[in-house]
Amino acid sequence: MSIVIDSIPIDGLRKAHLLQLAEYIRMRDFEGWYYGNREQFEKRHKDLLKLADYLCEIYEDNDIKIKEV
């Protein structure tokens, strides 16, 4: 049985959380580690770097707010 996720909740997170997550993603580039099939890992990492860029854009844009719960 599989579960389909159509969103990932960020309730309670602040923009600083998003920036920290982006930095975790980017840190791998400095450390160079990976696991599993390297080609597949690098493809996923490339996708995550795009996400990291987007998270930084959110952090840097003062007009973007995260809804408080």
The residues near 13 (Cβ < 8 Å, ≥ 6 apart) are: 66
- The model's pTM is 0.74
Among the residues of 1-69, which ranges form H helices? 15-31, 38-60
Q: What is the pLDDT of residue 65?
A: 86
List the chain pLDDT tens, one digit each, 69 residues. 777 878 888 888 899 999 999 999 988 877 778 889 999 998 999 999 999 999 999 999 999 888 776
Q: Hey, where are the domains in the chain?
A: 36-63
Question: Which pLDDT score is estimated for 2?
Answer: 79
Residues 6+ apart with CB under 8 A from 48: 25
